[in-house]
Amino acid sequence: MADKQRVLIVDDDENIAELISLYLLKECYETLIVHDGESAVREFSTFAPNIILLDLMLPGMDGYQVCREIRKNSSCPIIMLSAKGEVFDKVLGLELGADDYMVKPFDSKELVARVKAILRRSVPEKEAPAVEEHGEFVEYPDLTINLTNYSVTYAGHTLEMPPKELELLYFLAKSPNQVFTREQLLDRIWGYEYMGDTRTVDVHIKRIREKVHDHSAWSIATVWGVGYKFEVRR
Which region among 46-60, 108-122, 144-158 has the lowest average model confidence (pLDDT)?
108-122
- What is the pLDDT averaged over residues 197-219? 89
Say how far apart CA 152 and CA 157 lie, in whole Å: 8
Cα angle value 99/23/4 (rounded, 5°) = 70
Q: Does 121 score more than 80 pLDDT? A: no
Residue 58 burial (C-beta neighbours within 10 Å; 0-12, 13-18, 19+): buried
Calpha distance 142→116 (Å, rounded): 33
Strand ranges in the chain using DSSP code E only, listed in sequence order: 6-10, 30-34, 51-55, 78-82, 100-103, 137-140, 143-146, 151-154, 157-159, 180-181, 218-223, 227-232
Model pTM greater than 0.75?
A: no
- The pLDDT tens digits of the residues spanning 9-60 come to 999 999 999 999 999 999 889 999 999 999 999 999 899 999 999 999 898 8
* pLDDT single digits (tens) 51-73: 999 999 898 899 999 998 998 88
Give 123's pLDDT tier (boundaries 50, 70, 90): low
Question: CA–CA separation, 31 vs 94, rounded Å?
Answer: 24
Average pLDDT value over all residues in the chain: 85
Cβ atoms of 32 and 5 within 8 Å: the answer is no
3-state secondary structure of 59: coil
Residue 135 pLDDT level (bands cut at 50, 70, 90): low
Contact 165/176 with Cβ under 8 angstroms? no
Complete domains list, the chain, with CATH: 6-120 (3.40.50.2300), 130-232 (1.10.10.10)
